[in-house]
Amino acid sequence: MLELIVISTLNGVLFGMLLFLMASGLTVIFSMLGVLNFAHASFYMLGAFFGFQVSRWFGFWPALLIAPLLAGALGAGVERFGLRRVHRNGHVAELLFTFGLAFVIEELVQIIWGKSPVDFRIPALLDFPAFTIFSTNYPAYKMFMLLVSIAIFVGLLLVLKKTRIGLIVQAALTHPHMVGHLGHNVGRIFMLVFGVGTALAAVAGVIAGPALVTQSNMAGLLGPILFVVVVVGGLGSLPGAFVASLLIGLVQTFAVSMNGSLSGAFGPLSPAYASSWLADIWGVTIAQVAPIVPYVLLVLILIFRPMGLLGTRDT
């Protein structure tokens, strides 16, 4: 039992940190530009595919640097030449723009790299078990993923709270006009933030690609859960996104490891109902419904605490 708890905690934290890498960019973009970027997970996918391609040419480590830069540049371009023009037509137009962009990116990826998974391998340097706990090996690469995520979280917090750029960004969040009057180029700040946000998603893509599956549907698999993270954490709150990412990572991992069901808790259903629809619900285990638990959380949060766990304003 203890074994399961320890391993599940490790797995949950890891998944949570990966979610955070993506959600951090999404939430910063939302709080600054007021744009809920539907194409965010697509930049995660682009990061994975760029990483795959670059690692073919130059190896994994250069890819870890180059792929996010490429994706970030692309993101900045999207803001400069796409979103900024669409912005004039209001939020709905922006939303639809990013929504469409997600499909365009998916199709492009399919055209270039095909629809089946590509062979994106873990670098040989990290392909060994880091440590063994309760006779279960913990791969070094997963440890590496964890460290990168934590490093980026700390770095991001420091930049936002302690540097001049961070101060300007924060000011631009609440008082864009004032910041503009003070002589800062608000447009450029927005572009920078969008670029950095998408680059963060791409970092997540490069490090998750080899560990999970690099495939043209990977954005679709992780996209919806990102919005859960951002809403649960509180739209625009970085610490909120951090807490929510960990929470969802842990909840989902632990739900998988639980076997409880209604029939386990209250005893078997009386034979009279054995073949009715009730029997299905009665017998379903928590592990089976694990994938929808985060969405239940989303619904509950929206009903009872619309500003999210650490958010300051209503959605």
Partner 1 sequence: MRKLVIAAAFALPMFGGAAMAQETVKIGYIDPLSGGGASVGEVGLKTFQFLADELNAKGGIQGKKVEIVPFDNKTNPQESLIQAQKAIDSGVRFLTQGNGSSVAGALSDFVTKYNERNPGKEVLYFNYAAVDPVLTNAKCSFWHFRWDANSDIKMEALTNYMKTVPSIKNVYLINQDYSFGESVRSSAKAMLAAKRPDIKIVGDELHPLLKITDFAPYIAKIKASGADTVVTGNWGQDFALLLKAAADAGLKVNWYTYYAGGTGGPTAVKQANLNHQVFQVGEGIPNLDHPSSQEFEKAIRAKYDFSLFYPRAVNEMRMLAAAADKAKSIDPIKVALALEGMEVEVFDGGKGNMRKDDHQFFQPIYISSLGDRTEKEPFDEEKTGWGWKLVAKIDTPATVLPTTCKMERPN
Cβ(6)–Cβ(134) below 8 Å: yes
Measured from the CB atom, the residue of 53 and 214 that comes closer to partner 1 is: 214
Amino acid in the structure at residue 297: L
Site membership for partner 1, residue 124 (CB under 8 A)? no
Residues 26-55 that bind partner 1 (CB under 8 A): none
Q: How far apart are CA 186 and CA 172, in angstroms?
A: 7
Q: How far apart are CA 37 and CA 173, in angstroms?
A: 16
CB pairs under 8 A, 24+ apart, for 88-97? 91/34, 91/35, 94/35, 95/35, 95/36, 95/38
Report residue 249 as tokens: 């990572």
- H-helix segments, 79-183: 84-87, 91-113, 140-162, 164-174, 176-181
Q: How near is the Cβ of 10 to partner 1 at its closest, in Å? A: 9
Measured from the CB atom, the residue of 170 and 257 that comes closer to partner 1 is: 257
Site membership for partner 1, residue 143 (CB under 8 A)? no
Site membership for partner 1, residue 263 (CB under 8 A)? no
Report residue 191 as tokens: 């572009």
Measured from the CB atom, the residue of 195 and 294 that comes closer to partner 1 is: 294
Site membership for partner 1, residue 8 (CB under 8 A)? yes
Q: How many residues bind partner 1 (CB under 8 A)?
A: 37
Stretch of 24-32, 173-181, 214-222, 240-248 contacting partner 1, by CB under 8 A: 214-222
Site membership for partner 1, residue 95 (CB under 8 A)? no
Position among 77, 108, 113, 117 found at the interface with partner 1 (CB under 8 A)? 117
Stretch of 74-82, 171-179, 208-216, 295-303 contacting partner 1, by CB under 8 A: 208-216
Q: How far apart are CA 207 and CA 203, in angstroms?
A: 6
Site membership for partner 1, residue 291 (CB under 8 A)? yes
Site membership for partner 1, residue 163 (CB under 8 A)? no
Phi, psi (degrees; rounded to nearest 5) at 132: -115, 125
Measured from the CB atom, the residue of 12 and 47 that comes closer to partner 1 is: 12
Beta strand pairing call for 129-133 and 136-139: antiparallel
Q: What sign results for the dihedral spanned by CA atoms 6, 7, 12, 18?
A: positive
Q: How far apart are CA 43 and CA 72, in angstroms?
A: 8
Q: How near is the Cβ of 49 to partner 1 at its closest, in Å? A: 15
Site membership for partner 1, residue 149 (CB under 8 A)? no
DSSP string of 220-234, one letter each residue: HHHHHHHHHHHHHH-
Cβ(48)–Cβ(214) below 8 Å: yes
Q: How far apart are CA 20 and CA 222, in angstroms?
A: 12
Site membership for partner 1, residue 264 (CB under 8 A)? no
Site membership for partner 1, residue 182 (CB under 8 A)? no
Site membership for partner 1, residue 279 (CB under 8 A)? no
Q: How near is the Cβ of 101 to partner 1 at its closest, in Å? A: 19
Q: Which residues bind partner 1 (CB under 8 A)?
A: 1, 3-4, 7-8, 11-12, 15, 110, 115-117, 129, 132, 134-139, 142, 211-213, 215-218, 221, 252-253, 256-257, 259, 287-288, 291
